[in-house]
Structure 1
């Protein structure tokens, strides 16, 4: 399900807190021999520049902006990448050793989307079943990948169907080269793996918060 070269699956016919932004220049890396997402214990030495966020290492697309979502206690809740085609969000969660978490989580997300009035489609994508959810304001693609004791979830959000297709492709590229650092600590299933900002970015956000305050 992960870490091996796959035939590129095309889609089926159906196709409150302040959030500081940081600009990135992007980087290029060597051609990949295998596809991720990767576990840190067998991540490739490919020379690709990745943003180290503790539990995940992301290859930030050129020109993307990093948007950090904080919870009321001041901890990082999520990191979003703002691109020209839409918003990309990749998050990692603790998962069981011997069972898949994504089928269960995806079912719950579908129920939630339906309760919020979204139109839902289940589609076959790069790593199996994916979710397409849309309303009059946003088109979402949700992708899940089960790894060793972790689950990686990616969300592409775009305002139009045309941009959603491009955002989905950008999400695939992002997730293929993402590295998950699960660690050995015991964690309850579904617990978000902690996000740690690089010191320079943390200082930038703190300065922005002080200015806004």
Structure 2
């Protein structure tokens, strides 16, 4: 499937110079927008910047007029991503994990590339599907990733999804937000006119990106 998004906006020269001067302090993300992280071709959705993979079908998940998450489809599997505001003093994964386990006794805890995760069956409308719940605590944000389908039980199929998660950038922003409030997302073509996409050969008169939505 072809990715229906395009590249992220171009950062200001002083922002680029500052990031190039500071090398990442970790081997992989997810990254906080304010920490040094590798420059890459990413899709700018406001609260999330996603790595560009032409094999992935990336869609915004929306409730009413609000974009609340992202769904990525590839190889008989899917990845759901949602970024939430978290307290400055502590993370949310332990709390969220406990809530999920209380509602789903068919899941168990296991070690994964991001620490403890939940694995088992996702049951929706009487049907079941293999699933992995991955939680990552960041500075004032929490990223929940749910891998379902073949990638939940097959490491080789899961690898592209894990690599995808490792290169996600979360943009929390400075505005006050309630605990577990969804960090706002937007369509790429909703960026302000002062922002321009990054990448060689950018044509300002070319038709903007089109995206799919799940409601």
> Same fold judged by TM-score > 0.5?
yes
Gaps of 5+ in 2: 8-23, 190-207
Look up the match of 1:3: none
SS of residue in 1 equivalent to 2:55: coil
Q: Which has the higher contact order (CA 8 A, sep 6+)?
A: 2
Which structure 2 residues correspond to residues 82-161 of structure 1 after superposition, within 5 A? Answer: 82-114=73-105, 119-134=106-121, 137-159=128-150
Change (3 A) 1:204 1:143: closer
Look up the match of 2:42: 50
Larger relative helix fraction: 1
Change (3 A) 1:183 1:59: same
**Deviation, structure 1 residue 76:** 1.6
**Deviation, structure 1 residue 194:** 0.6
Larger relative strand fraction: 2
Change (3 A) 1:35 1:60: same
Change (3 A) 1:59 1:185: same
Change (3 A) 1:161 1:171: closer
SS of residue in 1 equivalent to 2:34: helix
* Residue-pair matches, total: 175
**Kept after mapping to 2: 8 A contact 1:26/1:62:** no
SS of residue in 2 equivalent to 1:41: coil
**Deviation, structure 1 residue 85:** 4.5
Superposed CA RMSD in Å reads 2.8
Gaps of 5+ in 1: 1-20, 207-213
